[in-house]
Chain A
Amino acid sequence: MKELMKGNEAIAAGAIHAGVKCFFGYPITPQTELAAYMAKHLPKSGGVFLQAESEVSAINMVYGASSAGFRAMTSSSSPGVSLKQEGISFLAAADLPCVIVNVMRGGPGLGGIQPSQADYFQAVKGGGHGDYRLIVLAPGNVAEMAEMTVKAFDLADKWRIPVMILTDGVLGQMMETVDMDSLPERKYYDKEWAVTGRSGRAHKNIVKTLHLDAEELEKIVLEREEKYRRIECEEADAEEYRADDADIIVTAYGITSRIAKAAVDRARESGVRVGVVRPKTLYPFPSEFYNKGYKKILCVEMSTGQMVEDVKLAVKCGVPVEFYGRTGGMIPGEDEIYERIMMMAKEDAK
């Protein structure tokens, strides 16, 4: 059945479809509808909705539920996600699967409540303390928000890793149709490591992150690094749009990618061979999608330039990479991106 819903609601509906057992959250704009949808619908499907006393507490409730082997999630917006970083580091260190949603707003500090993509570094490069990674997914429309949430839970269980859905206030708040019947079926994974009470098990299960022996800790961290390398090989994904014969590539994720597509359509009408590469996974970063003989790349973000660093690493500085961004809650316009494309095309023609 097709439903008209907000992006935030689509994530919640996708999570329920994926069999989420519990949602722990704390109110913050612009992710509000996600928790509201969960409060209304999750108990009906036998799940637990609990409004925590803080973001810190919410992420630690996720840690508990995930330790017990259940699918658990939390959602927030930028300042709230900063508060969750302690818990995220612990979840990563304990190899616990879970889904964390960040519906980004302008920062730093309290910033504003308008959409932003300025938490890319925090999501992709770390955020909390220690050597760790999250799988970070970036949906580009409302239907994909539901679909990617199902995938997020599967990836979390498959790799025993926290997965973040990194989206923005526009996608969270905008309404589009979602065909709930077309969502992929969830997958099931054994969780023999979960703390469920021993129930006849010969050994006790322990979920922990403390390793006082430096050699032991190094070994564990390096094993996890090995896992990250495999994730990089297997899970990186991107969408290509009109990129087949393109000389110039505009790259952007989330809502920005949609504006970029509109600008690219217009530039095509003006005769410029330009296309879009839209990363669907921000970690692992889909580097190989940038190495297809393109002459120039324009990275567009709602930040002062964060993903652009990964784009430069992807092409090993072998292709000129330019950046255009708006920040603080401002959204780059189709015109602005179109002008940048035309300038790059003109330089080429010289």
Chain B
Amino acid sequence: MNTIYEKPRSLSDVNFHYCPGCGHGVVHRLICEVIDELNINDKTIAVVPVGCAVMSYDYFECDAVESAHGRAPAVATGIKRCMPDKVVFSYQGDGDLAAIGTAETIHAAARGEAITVIFVNNTIYGMTGGQMAPTSLPGQVTQTTPCGRDPYTQGYPLKMCEILSQVQGVSYIERCAIDTVPHINAAKKAIKKAFLNQIENGGYSFIELLCSCPTNWKMTPKQAKERIGSEMCEYYPLGVFVDKIGE
């Protein structure tokens, strides 16, 4: 009998608390498949955020540190600087990475820290019940933008890949989407490349993943996936923004 589906060893055998149709489960799996394939479970440290993924220390079957809101890149810096031979990745949502932790994000990139940043962008604060995120799209209705986000009073969404592309210290930036099978396969390839870049070149990588939050978008999982491919991909174009690997 051929095994066609198996849980990655690096993914804990526990129930996840994520909602149906949420992107986190898929992203966790992709990361763990990469950790297994690179055989780095024994030397990987996950730095997890505040937000829906706060409890992911229970889901990644590797050593993990939960950090204060937005501070994951600073925590990861502290770990990696002490143990340059270990593999350190931060896992952060949009509020964590692009609002309260913007300074930590940009400066870890500027220093070219040898870490891998996984950025889950679902344009909303999920854990607290659906407030406006720094990446919420213009017109997006949230608990704190009941009439839709008005850029005139509530600002424009931040495009983190584009912003970080201006920072010299980074070596690899790519934006992918977690909606279709080809996109998910491309996302895994990007994640693997990012981990390899850390291991082989000591380079800083940033992978943004456009994900769905059906619960707070008030959509079915299917509608939510469709929103990624339409509205989100239009505002946040997929692709490689920086690739200096090998330079």
B226 within 8 A of A: no
* Contact A87/B71 with A64-B78, A68-B83, A198-B42 known, Cβ cut-off 8 Å: yes
Chain A, interface residues (CB within 8 Å), range:
35 or more
CA distance A60 to B79 in the complex (A): 10
Query: Which of A68, A90, A196, A200 neighbours the largest number of chain B CB atoms within 10 Å of its CB?
Result: A68
State whether A70 touches B82 (Cβ < 8 A): yes
CA distance A120 to B233 in the complex (A): 53
State whether B42 touches A72 (Cβ < 8 A): no
CA distance A197 to B62 in the complex (A): 7
B63 within 8 A of A: yes
- From A61, A65, A210, B66 is in contact (CB under 8 Å) with A210
* Contact A65/B86 with A195-B65, A196-B63 known, Cβ cut-off 8 Å: no
Residues of chain A contacted by B45 (CB below 8 angstroms):
68, 195-197
CA distance A319 to B81 in the complex (A): 53
State whether B75 touches A61 (Cβ < 8 A): yes
State whether B81 touches A197 (Cβ < 8 A): no
Residues of chain A contacted by B75 (CB below 8 angstroms):
60-61, 63-64, 67
State whether B42 touches A200 (Cβ < 8 A): yes
Q: Mark A17-57, 1 if CB is under 8 A from B, else 0.
A: 00001101000000000000000000000001010111011
State whether A61 touches B63 (Cβ < 8 A): no
Q: Which residue of chain B has its CB nearest to the CB of A195?
A: B63
CB distance from B113 to the nearest CB of A (A): 10
Residues of chain B contacted by A182 (CB below 8 angstroms):
none
State whether A210 touches B55 (Cβ < 8 A): yes
Residues of chain B contacted by A272 (CB below 8 angstroms):
none
State whether B64 touches A48 (Cβ < 8 A): no
State whether B77 touches A87 (Cβ < 8 A): no
- From A86, A196, A204, A205, B68 is in contact (CB under 8 Å) with A86
Residues of chain A contacted by B58 (CB below 8 angstroms):
206
State whether B64 touches A64 (Cβ < 8 A): no
State whether B66 touches A60 (Cβ < 8 A): no
* Contact A24/B42 with A195-B63, A204-B63 known, Cβ cut-off 8 Å: no
Q: Which residue of chain B has its CB nearest to the CB of A67?
A: B65
CB neighbors of A among B44-84 (8 A): 44-45, 47, 54-55, 57-58, 61-68, 71, 74-83
CA distance A195 to B58 in the complex (A): 14
State whether B74 touches A197 (Cβ < 8 A): no
* Contact A65/B103 with A195-B65, A197-B42 known, Cβ cut-off 8 Å: no
Give how many A-B residue pairs fall within 8 Å (CB-CB): 128
- From B74, B79, B80, A57 is in contact (CB under 8 Å) with B74
Q: Which residue of chain A has its CB nearest to the CB of B61?
A: A204
CA distance A52 to B64 in the complex (A): 23
CA distance A204 to B46 in the complex (A): 11
State whether B62 touches A204 (Cβ < 8 A): yes
CA distance A72 to B79 in the complex (A): 11
CA distance A50 to B80 in the complex (A): 12
B227 within 8 A of A: no
State whether B78 touches A22 (Cβ < 8 A): yes
Residues of chain A contacted by B81 (CB below 8 angstroms):
22, 48, 50, 61, 65
CB distance from A328 to the nearest CB of B (A): 31
State whether B107 touches A208 (Cβ < 8 A): no
CB distance from B71 to the nearest CB of A (A): 4
In the A-B complex, the 5 residue pairs with the smallest Cβ-Cβ separation, listed nearest first, are A64-B78, A60-B74, A197-B43, A53-B107, A61-B78
Additional pairs, 14, CB under 8 Å, beyond known A50-B77, A63-B65: A21-B82, A56-B104, A57-B74, A60-B78, A61-B77, A63-B74, A64-B65, A68-B45, A197-B63, A198-B62, A200-B42, A204-B61, A206-B58, A207-B65
